[in-house]
Amino acid sequence: MQLARAKIVGVDQDAPKPTTPAGTEPAPSTPAPRPRSLGWQAKVGVTVIALAALGALFWPRGDGGFAAPGGFLVDGNGRPQPMGPRMEAVTLVHFWATWCPPCMTEIPALDRLRDDLAARPDFGILMVAVQDDVEKVETMVGEARGGVLFDPDWDVAHRYGTRQLPESYLVVRGRVVEKWEGEVDWDDREVRARIEQALAGIESS
């Protein structure tokens, strides 16, 4: 990018310099007014607006969610496993851990949800054990251990925006359309209805 050259107009280098009459002090220059600082109420308001803008950026509910982050998890043997092959058209991505007491109470209801929708090939539950012990996880989930992958360092959990457990995301064709924070009753009618609605949308499209 080229800088524009400044042009000095109307300045005669040979013109006499203005003088100050003898015995007269030059008029003091007037300092430029300082910008008024924001009061604390205004500062709080600006902060709230900025946080709201960030929230809209990272959780744009109005346009149907956000693209589900990908990444690699690991299986019980420590082998990298990409998430893509584990995702159905409608997938419940559930972040949990055996060291998280609220997570433990969800396991039976999640098992019932999986069993009730077992006939739906377009639905799946991907349980992601975060920073957890493999043996404890496999003991806890029993036969469902094949549906569990591990996130040892919170890498994938943080990509989704998870900072505490449990948290769950309903992913429909690669987009997160629902987020549940904390413990959820997966037998609840409204929760089940939200999942059924997502499945119905897949059928009709």
pLDDT tens sequence across 154-164: 999 999 999 99
> How would you classify the pairing of strands 167-172 and 90-96?
antiparallel
Residue 39 is predicted with a pLDDT of 53
List % helix, strand, coil for the chain (3-state, nearest 5).
40, 20, 45
Q: What is the pLDDT of residue 164?
A: 96
Do β-strands 175-181 and 72-74 pair in parallel, antiparallel, or remain unpaired?
A: unpaired
Chain mean pLDDT for the chain: 78
Write down the pTM of the prediction. 0.69
The domains of the chain, with CATH numbers, are: 64-204 (3.40.30.10)
86-124 per-position pLDDT tens digit: 999 999 999 999 999 999 999 999 999 999 999 999 999
